[in-house]
Chain A
Amino acid sequence: MPVLVFVEQNEGKFKKSAYEAVSFGFALGKSIHEPLIVLSIGKVDLEVLKSFGEYGAEKVYTIDSESLKTFVNQAYASIIAHVAEKINASVVIMSNSFSAKGMAPRVAVKLKAALGEAIVSLPEIKDKDFIVKRGVFSGKAFVFEKLETPVKVLTLSPNSFGLFSNKVEVAIEEISPELPASDYGTMVREIIRNTDKISLPDAERVVSAGRGLKGPENWKMIEDLAEVLGAATACSKPVSDAGWRPHSEHVGQTGIAVSPNLYIAIGISGAIQHLAGVSSSKVIVVINKDPEAPFFKVADYGIVGDAFDIVPRLIEAAKAIKG
């Protein structure tokens, strides 16, 4: 009973999170002595699909259809469930993207499977037990849950596993399952992308700023620091509530929870709601002029000082390192 990983393409390309899900699927498959099979939906070049062989995929199923070029929730869910049944998959995995959040539960219902959502590590598999770990209370705690159905659906929290290459011989097979018309209940009118920016939820590095910046006109230096570090920009809740930055940048308990390798917080005091959204970050850097700011208690590195003095110097120092 193989492991199936669904990889989400964007205009024919895959993000690191797709390869991470495949690396994870390979490791999971290896632990239960089962092969790894990958499924891609939408138009993708053969050479790109073959790249999953670098991460352990023995087979890649692909569906090239005009009507499935972009994400269609119900149709994608039907195809994933169809392929899972066809290959008799025991575990279905995908990266926990915005689209996956809305789709994985549908796949789970179709397969009568338990769903482990946004898991942060490989499951513990002992005898018949299958235990997953995920964040709860918006990052304030973790929970271990036992999934008790024969088939399991898992979504993987981005940046929680990493990439591991395992080169194998890969076969590509094109399939074209039939779908009912009711699977096309939603119609995409338009997709608007900020192509010049790194997306926040799966970013490896994040530069975030708060009210300490005093006003939206001062964000240029935050964007500059993010650019030189290859980081996404983020903000605290008061900042997005005040309309200084879009809601999509709000990190915290009622915003986005992030798990980057590096989170730099500038002029953010560190309210419990904000800390909840960043607690899975690997390295936290805090820059604040108040030495008593609660954020310092959860930081790995810190500078007590004025952001307007420090940030421009950090930009220059980062440029020097990047050469």
Chain B
Amino acid sequence: MKFLVCISNVPDTTTKITFSDNFTQFNPNGVQFILNPYDELSIARAMELAEGGKASITILHVGEASSEPTIRKALALGADDAVRINAFPKNAHFVAHQIAEYIKENPYDILFFGRESIDYNGAQVCSMVGELLNLPSISIVKKLDLQDNKAILEREIEGGKEILEVQLPFVLSSTEGIAEPKIPNMRGIMSARTKPLIVREPSPVKETESLISFESPKPRGQVQLVKSEDAEQLMQLLHSEAKVI
């Protein structure tokens, strides 16, 4: 079997987000970029399912050369090879089309995504790729098991979970629960340096949207503190002042 794991290169979760050029650009200065945490879960589950040579794992990334350390990290975690589509990932529509074009020429049995990237939080690419390739897609999956040529998945729904069955090939997006993230070992890190990384040029895509500007959330007013001995008062404030209970 062949697995493909699509990854994003995102600002570390502790990053303070700032913008430049009058709030039209994200400011990457001093920002540490990491492998998107949900994509890390995809790699971890793909590794578990591939164990014992049952499948090969390819990493696919749409991004510029600056994201190669993140691709190497994915390889260090155990993937066999990687493909980078050499373009700035400007939006989900663009990225989904690049990925779909690549897969049309190079089919896989399971296409893994993260539930969303923690920068643009679109949660769009997985299902767009599914639609572009006319494959089933299951989003926000917290459990994945294989039985011969089909998969049993558990996905998150409001107030519960849904258990589904799907034939290979299909597309999914991973969330917490699907696997525990792994830490690359020394052997993985060493071998990642020499694993194949192919760079492809992007395909032309018709644009559907453009970014206008960013905005930082409005700061909240001063906190109104209630003395701990008067804790009961808090409920009164929430009831009559804030009117939320």
Contact = CB atoms under 8 A, between A and B. Distances in A.
Interface residues of A, number: 103
B156 interface: yes
Contacts of A114: 93, 208-209
A208 interface: no
A90 B122 CA distance: 22
A231 to B, nearest CB: 9
A313 B244 contact: no
Interface string A90-116: 000000011101111110111011110
Interface string B17-48: 10100000000000000000110000000000
A7 to B, nearest CB: 14
A302 B156 contact: no
The 9 closest A-B pairs by CB, nearest first: A305-B228, A102-B139, A185-B136, A199-B159, A193-B160, A199-B158, A105-B127, A247-B176, A317-B235
A131 B213 CA distance: 10
Interface string A229-241: 1000000000010
Given A105-B126, A192-B162, A282-B244, 5 more contacts: A109-B131, A188-B162, A195-B159, A273-B14, A284-B220
Interface of B: 11, 13-14, 16-17, 19, 37-38, 92-93, 96, 118-128, 130-132, 134-140, 142, 152, 155-167, 170, 173, 175-177, 207-217, 220-221, 223-228, 231-232, 234-239, 242, 244-245
A304 B244 CA distance: 21
A280 B215 CA distance: 13
Contact of B236 (A106, A191, A321): A321
B223 A301 contact: yes
B207 A194 contact: no
Given A115-B124, A138-B121, A272-B13, A186 B217 contact: no
Contacts of B96: 105, 109
Contacts of A310: 228, 231
B128 A109 contact: yes
Interface string A69-99: 0110110010000000000000000000111
Interface in A246-265: 247-248, 250, 253-255, 257, 261-262
B242 A283 contact: yes
A189 B164 contact: yes
A204 B212 CA distance: 31
Contact of B127 (A103, A118, A192, A286): A103
Contact of B226 (A70, A103, A302): A302
Contacts of B19: 141
A179 B142 CA distance: 29
Contacts of A317: 231-232, 234-236
Given A106-B137, A138-B121, A321-B235, A189 B152 contact: yes
A273 B234 contact: no
A304 B238 CA distance: 17
Given A188-B162, A282-B244, A247 B13 contact: no
Given A110-B131, A137-B119, A317-B234, A98 B217 contact: no
Q: Tell me the dominant secondary structure on chain A's binding face.
A: mixed
Interface stretch (A58-66, A144-152, A215-223): A144-152
Q: Which of A105, A133, A298 has most B Cβ within 10 Å?
A: A105
Contacts of B208: 112-114, 147-149
Given A106-B130, A296-B223, A98 B209 contact: no
B210 A299 contact: no
B127 A106 contact: yes
Contact of B126 (A102, A186, A189): A102
Contacts of A143: 120, 211-215
Contacts of A181: none
Nearest to B220: A298
13 contacts: A98-B139, A117-B122, A141-B19, A144-B212, A147-B208, A193-B159, A199-B158, A199-B160, A200-B159, A205-B244, A253-B13, A313-B231, A317-B234
Contacts of A106: 127-128, 130-131, 137
Given A314-B231, A314-B232, A98 B156 contact: yes
A194 B157 CA distance: 11
A182 interface: yes
B13 A254 contact: yes
Contact of A97 (B125, B136, B158, B176): B158
A13 interface: no
Contacts of B236: 317, 321
B220 A300 contact: yes
Contacts of A141: 17, 19, 214-217
Contacts of A144: 211-215
A173 interface: no
Nearest to B176: A247
Contacts of B93: 114-115
Q: Which of A101, A240, A273 has most B Cβ within 10 Å?
A: A101
Contact of B128 (A105, A135, A193): A105
Q: Which of A106, A137, A250 has most B Cβ within 10 Å?
A: A137
